[in-house]
Chains A and B, each alone.
Chain A
């Protein structure tokens, strides 16, 4: 298998997590909504996992709503908060994940004003403009991600929370990329809603969570069934929920043990990249996730480099796996003010806990060979 440097797209399932899941992939475990004993055992496991996820992000177990993943969490948060109220404004960061942007944009059809929140060239909120924007009229919801999936740039969400709350709005935080890589504290960040995804932190795919403060009124995205207090119908995905819970617990315990080596490797990678001609590291001067580097090489097309690196056995990406294959320049980099031709050259390397110095050196050697000085 290739050297995997695309951990922001997805991570390997931790064998310890798989171990925890296996009992729920065999045996007569029932539908967690059934009243009989099998159902009750299933329900206990679901509630245990809810506590584990709650501990990872310092929220109450009762605030955790299971979803099928980050995309559903973001859709549920944004559409759920806007449903059934008089339309005003919804704001979202210019570098948000497509699930946030597109979910917000759908609200236009029902009369909402939907506006991006400008970011500066480093990818962080342009504070003076944001403050002015909040004052121009009533706002229902602002959505800002804790850490960007492409650049890894970390947003000062707590600062935004104070402003958003002063404007009488709710704050939604997409923490899909941040959780498990840096400390995420639902309370300290001042978030009202927060999205999480299991497969970004060595858990299974197909499961995520939306954290919701009980004061936030939410309409369901999927109607039907009393599961998740009526906010998210559907038979519970037992094995995946248990896996997510276990992965969250491990992520909490091993947060530093994962972040410190990742940062050391990232520094090594960046030092190597800087020896290449025409390299530009996005968000270089600001606080970023310890595992993420997005860069471009002047005069080189990102897609072409990716394909060549793939052939040489290195799995990296241009940005979001969710928009790969479309050939469009990264909206994140465009939002930061880069020209489309610069954005088109972007390559994202996202490190994981298994990557080694030798792999980084190998990657640098392969890249150097592709872009002779």
Chain B
């Protein structure tokens, strides 16, 4: 498995892990940092040392760092806390449509409470411009929330240019810096951002710990969102998880050091070279689009759209690659990336987009192997799809290991046919009958061609999810085995039960039924 999903999460750095372990020790590292005795004081000292480390990574003062459970909480605390403190009534805030879900959902929540929200859309390169933000401001605007780096495209927003202009106007500026910290210089001493969200697990620290930078001078005021006990200067209550905090501190220190290393072997330069290597390999494929602004991007993210390939099938052909079709946070919903749609990609193309994100452990060999797998998968699916005008046999590959890796997502009956179809292609000649069907909603297509005689021959082409392709393969297989009479026995229910197709994929079986019907009516009309 090649891991190219560092923007979703990074592995814990061994040095960070080593720093955390003493604080998981049952003898010396267990005190509650809020306790007034020796074990408590020891834990508290470790927490404060880590606070200084995180502050240093972003050029802040230690007392400006508030611990949270991660970026989602940081973003919630920043936006809701600021609005609640200032009074939400009549307030206006400005944000963009390409923010992380935690910002989007928080702003939508506030909208439902009567706060007016100016939603900015990106240009075709995924950028929100400073002019756009300034134009959206109103006299009653109290807060602007904008991400420093977009998590899907890697495009850098002009937060550095914007900050002084918002300060001048007395508008609070919140920046989600989750994808920027440790990747770009982030210096709160120079950039007058008021609130800045961070999370440890994006820079090789532990999960479950994040921070919110809350500027002291001029003071950004927040209403707490978690009450009880008054930890973190009253801004965020709850027992502090010493080991996680120490881990975030160590990870921040390490990230700072590696970021400062400008040698070709340093993180930034090395990863950019690998990213370019990947783009060079994949950019050679026809109809591949790069999403985002290649001139203003972080070194570790490459987002590509593969036209003419259905997204789910593409991902299913890549069981050896750990990549993401967007943000992991929306993966569970399987919706096409809202960021790419905001960039003007249609649902189809957004669905066939992949985010490659590289990291500290990525090697050139991994990049080359990933590119080879990508090219094979794209060419395979394009050859199988009707959109490819040439009438060629589908390539066949043994993919035993793949079944182990991803077989649990699909029924084996579907997986085996999808991964290694024996009947891909089309037939030509006077006697050949061709039937086609589509599903308008998912824009899947299926074609079945049939050459009567003995032996009867059948081939399919399809564009769609793995279920669609498996249905095509199964129909051709059954026709060749049982001959034409079998057509009368095939309906959607039969297809579903033969292939164990779940309810939510019933449309794939219906499309198979349509193809069968179309074939039958052709045969009947000529006989």
Contact = CB atoms under 8 A, between A and B. Distances in A.
Chains A and B belong together in one complex = yes
Interface of A: 1-2, 4, 6, 9-15, 18, 21, 25-31, 33-40, 68-72, 74-75, 97-103, 105-106, 197, 199, 204-207, 221-227, 233-240, 306-307, 310, 313-317, 320-326
A37 B319 contact: yes
Contact of B102 (A12, A36, A106, A225): A225
A75 B332 contact: no
B457 interface: no
Contact of B101 (A6, A25, A26, A225): A225
A332 B226 CA distance: 21
B206 interface: yes
Given A69-B239, A315-B39, A224 B75 contact: yes
Interface in B310-334: 315, 319, 321-325, 328-333
The residue among A15, A36, A106 with the most chain B CB atoms within 10 A of its own CB is A36
Contacts of B328: 31, 33-35, 39, 235
Contact of B229 (A14, A71, A226, A239): A71
B207 A237 contact: yes
Given A13-B24, A34-B5, A69-B239, A236 B207 contact: yes
B8 A31 contact: yes
7 contacts: A13-B30, A36-B324, A37-B319, A71-B227, A224-B105, A234-B72, A238-B207
B17 interface: yes
Interface in B445-497: none
A225 B315 CA distance: 22
B239 A1 contact: no
A37 B405 contact: yes
Interface in B258-310: none
Interface string B38-79: 111000000000000000000000000000011111011000
Contacts of A39: 8, 322, 328, 331
A98 B228 contact: yes
B12 A26 contact: yes
B38 A28 contact: no
Interface of B: 1, 3, 5, 8-9, 11-12, 14, 17, 20, 24-32, 34-40, 69-73, 75-76, 100-106, 108-109, 199, 201, 206-209, 225-231, 237-244, 315, 319, 321-325, 328-333, 405-406, 408
Given A13-B26, A28-B11, A240-B208, A324 B34 contact: yes
Given A9-B40, A31-B8, A205 B225 contact: no
Nearest to B201: A235
Contacts, number: 284
Given A223-B72, A223-B108, 16 more contacts: A6-B32, A10-B31, A13-B26, A25-B20, A30-B3, A99-B237, A102-B228, A103-B227, A223-B106, A224-B72, A224-B104, A225-B72, A235-B329, A237-B70, A317-B36, A322-B237
Contact of B323 (A27, A36, A103, A324): A36
The 5 tightest CB contacts between A and B, nearest first, are A99-B228, A224-B102, A237-B208, A206-B241, A322-B229
Contacts of B324: 34-36
A97 B27 contact: no
A206 B209 CA distance: 8
B239 A199 contact: yes
A68 B208 contact: yes
Contact of A99 (B30, B100, B105, B229): B229
A203 to B, nearest CB: 11
Contacts of A26: 11-12, 14, 17
Nearest to B107: A223
Given A9-B32, A25-B17, A34-B5, A234 B12 contact: no
Contacts of A105: 227
Most A C-beta atoms less than 10 A away, residue of B76, B328, B408: B328
B24 A325 contact: no
B101 A1 contact: no
A38 B228 contact: no
Contacts of B227: 71, 75, 98-99, 102-103, 105-106
B332 A233 contact: no
A34 B323 CA distance: 9
A326 B228 CA distance: 13
Contacts of B228: 71, 74-75, 97-103, 322
Contacts of A223: 72, 76, 102, 105-106, 108-109
Contacts of A326: 230
Nearest to B7: A31
Given A224-B101, A235-B70, A1 B3 contact: no
Nearest to A36: B322
